[in-house]
Amino acid sequence: MALGAQLVADDRTEVTATQTGLYATCPPAIAGLIEARGVGILNAPALPRARLVLAVDLGQTESDRLPPFRSVTIMGTALPLVLGSQSAHFPSALLCYLQGGRHG
């Protein structure tokens, strides 16, 4: 969010498959709330829903400098997949990916 992304949901996210793709929404009880570790639960403007266009697996770490194209299928829909990174530029790289796509 500090880089310009918008909140949809924090700890719980509902994903729905439609003919136009996958969409994320937030359960009403926690809509507009986000946990800031060491600060508390914060209020934040939130989108009511967002189309999913990229999956990021933070449980795996990317080891390739220029990784192959990967994908994951969720609810019958294929999404590009990026593995996690501890690099300081990783959040900015994800935002760039979402804004302009990936070459190659």
pLDDT for the residue numbered 67: 97
Kindly give the parts of the chain with pLDDT less than 70: none
pLDDT at residue 3, rounded to an integer:
92
The pTM of the whole model exceeds 0.85 = yes
Considering just the CA atoms, what is the radius of gyration of the chain in Å? 15
Q: Taking the C-alpha atoms of 72, 95, 24 and 78 in order, what is their torsion angle to the nearest 10 degrees?
A: -20
Q: How far is CA 55 from CA 23, 52, 63, in A?
A: 12, 8, 17
Q: What is the pLDDT of residue 104?
A: 80
